[in-house]
């Protein structure tokens, strides 16, 4: 029995050990390595450097490509809750009622077998931050995980990553229902945070008899107020961005701005507040509250030294996801230097999501999440030719 277990374990570990050779290796954390080698042992990067000084141990499988980069990160998605068929049975990204329900956990609805996850994986997306869509005032708590198909405990990086809120038009109710105005939306969020403050104070009382009954809803927001996780606030219009910043200043929670179609009108206040941004996907239709979106937003954020990342975002049509590599390429063609685009796809996204010690760059000791390309990653004719997650080859499909 023990021998069999040893053999099984050895085979699993062997599947996590390999080498990558590329004409150029983009570490992102440092200079690119020409004619580079990455050695992977037990799912981690064991060595990286020029081929002349980085020997490949005998017996390792070797993958070769023109370009190697860290695994790409989608900083805000609904994939895994929203499915490719766009039917009720694969649409768990929105619970319509009530407007405020931070107690919902995306992890409980995530489908690791969803074809959209496999699609993203073959395009080099190795980590996604996913959850509920932007139609809820406070819609639930997101999950951060790898796109490798495996039991969730193996791939989840943060089971409760951020609480998701929205000041977007999608969260505004119609037909005379509440909240029907932006003022009411902000007031309801403010009231929910006040109630969470009071709840947390009472739950900490020494006298158990005076403590309120446990409330998952208030507890989720109390965790935000205690700094355990950020509040991600979707806000496209300039006025909504500024409202989100006022709420953050009032309650002192960690804020991540999401969307920001008009954030170029508020760059100074966002920079002063030190708030990171997950910018709107440029493939989103530029209508309604996104009518003033700009393809130059990423470059302007970088110029102000504002931390940002790319997202696939949400729109209610098939397939309800996009590939953030395209988003970065569009930004690189509109004022963002290519190295900045790659960094926002990888290390900066990891920093924004709080997982930079594990993913986001190619460094010794980090997870071996690697994407192989047959040319410049931002060139339209280039293909992803291989993807490695945790040292495992998860795709050799040419995309």
Q: Which tens digits make up the pLDDT trace of 25-72? A: 999 999 999 999 999 999 999 999 999 999 999 999 999 999 999 999
DSSP-derived 3-state class of residue 18: strand
Question: pLDDT at residue 10 above 70?
Answer: no
Mean pLDDT of 110-134: 96
Question: In angstroms, rounded to a whole number, what is the distance separating the alpha carbons of residues 56 and 60?
Answer: 7
Closest CA to 126 of 366, 307, 376: 366
Question: pLDDT at residue 125 above 50?
Answer: yes
- Beta 33-41 vs 18-25: how paired, if at all? antiparallel
The partner residues of 146 in beta bridges, in order of sequence, read 127
Closest CA to 157 of 269, 88, 75, 238: 75
Q: What is the reported pLDDT for 95?
A: 93
Question: In angstroms, rounded to a whole number, what is the distance separating the alpha carbons of residues 236 and 45?
Answer: 39
Question: In angstroms, rounded to a whole number, what is the distance separating the alpha carbons of residues 367 and 118?
Answer: 19
DSSP state of 281: P
| CATH numbers and ranges of domains, the chain | 1-70+361-399 (2.30.40.10), 72-359 (3.20.20.140)
Other CB atoms within 10 A of residue 306 CB:
21
> Could you tell me the pLDDT band of residue 112, with boundaries at 50, 70 and 90?
very high
DSSP-derived 3-state class of residue 134: coil
Q: Tell me the two tokens of residue 68.
A: 């190697």
pLDDT in tens, 269-308: 999 999 999 999 988 888 999 999 999 999 999 999 999 9
Question: pLDDT at residue 382 above 60?
Answer: yes
Is this structure's pTM higher than 0.75?
A: yes
Cα dihedral across residues 57, 60, 63, 68: positive or negative: negative
- Beta 255-259 vs 277-279: how paired, if at all? parallel
Question: In angstroms, rounded to a whole number, what is the distance separating the alpha carbons of residues 396 and 249?
Answer: 47
Q: What is the reported pLDDT for 319?
A: 63
Higher pLDDT among residues 354 and 315, named by residue: 354
> Could you tell me the pLDDT band of residue 1, with boundaries at 50, 70 and 90?
very low
Q: What is the reported pLDDT for 7?
A: 36
Are 25 and 33 in contact by the 8 Å Cβ rule? The answer is yes
pLDDT in tens, 136-191: 999 999 999 999 999 999 999 999 999 999 999 999 988 888 899 999 999 999 99
Closest CA to 29 of 384, 304, 365, 305: 365
Question: pLDDT at residue 14 above 60?
Answer: no
Closest CA to 372 of 36, 127, 125, 64: 64
Q: What is the reported pLDDT for 4?
A: 39
Mean pLDDT of 231-254: 98
Q: What is the reported pLDDT for 177?
A: 87
Mean pLDDT of 230-242: 98
């Amino acid at each position: 029995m023990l021998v069999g277990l040893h053999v099984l374990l050895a085979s699993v570990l062997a599947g996590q050990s390999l080498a990558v050779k590329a004409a150029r290796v983009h570490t992102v954390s440092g200079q690119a390595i020409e004619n580079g080698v990455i050695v992977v042992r037990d799912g981690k990067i064991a060595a990286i450097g020029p081929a002349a000084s980085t020997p490949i141990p005998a017996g390792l499988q070797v993958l070769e490509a023109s370009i190697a980069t860290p695994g790409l990160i989608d900083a805000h998605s609904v994939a895994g809750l929203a499915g490719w068929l766009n039917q009720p049975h694969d649409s768990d990204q929105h619970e319509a009622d009530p407007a405020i329900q931070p107690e919902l956990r995306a992890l409980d609805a995530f489908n690791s077998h969803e074809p959209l996850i496999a699609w993203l994986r073959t395009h080099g997306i190795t980590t996604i931050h996913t959850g509920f869509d932007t139609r809820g005032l406070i819609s639930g708590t997101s999950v951060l995980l790898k796109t490798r198909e495996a039991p969730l405990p193996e791939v989840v990086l943060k089971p409760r990553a951020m609480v998701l809120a929205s000041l977007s038009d999608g969260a505004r109710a119609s037909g005379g229902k509440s909240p029907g105005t932006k003022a009411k939306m902000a007031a309801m969020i403010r009231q929910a945070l006040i109630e969470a403050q009071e709840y947390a104070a009472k739950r900490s009382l020494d006298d158990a008899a005076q403590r309120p009954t446990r409330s998952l809803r208030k507890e989720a927001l109390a965790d935000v107020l205690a700094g355990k996780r950020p509040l991600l606030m979707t806000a496209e219009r300039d006025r909504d961005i500024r409202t989100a910043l006022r709420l953050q200043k009032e309650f002192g929670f960690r804020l991540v701005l999401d969307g920001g179609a008009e954030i170029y009108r508020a760059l100074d206040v966002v920079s002063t507040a030190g708030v990171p941004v997950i910018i709107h996907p440029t493939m989103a239709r530029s209508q309604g509250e996104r009518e003033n979106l700009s393809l130059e937003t990423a470059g302007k954020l970088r110029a102000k030294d504002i931390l940002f990342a790319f997202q696939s975002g949400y729109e209610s049509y098939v397939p309800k996801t996009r590939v953030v590599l395209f988003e970065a390429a569009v930004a690189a063609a509109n004022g963002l230097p290519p190295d900045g685009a790659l960094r926002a796809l990888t290390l900066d996204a990891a920093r924004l999501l709080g997982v930079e010690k594990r993913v986001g760059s190619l460094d010794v000791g980090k997870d071996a999440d690697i994407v192989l390309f047959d040319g410049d990653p931002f060139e339209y004719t280039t293909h992803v030719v291989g993807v490695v997650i945790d040292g495992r080859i998860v795709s050799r499909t040419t995309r």
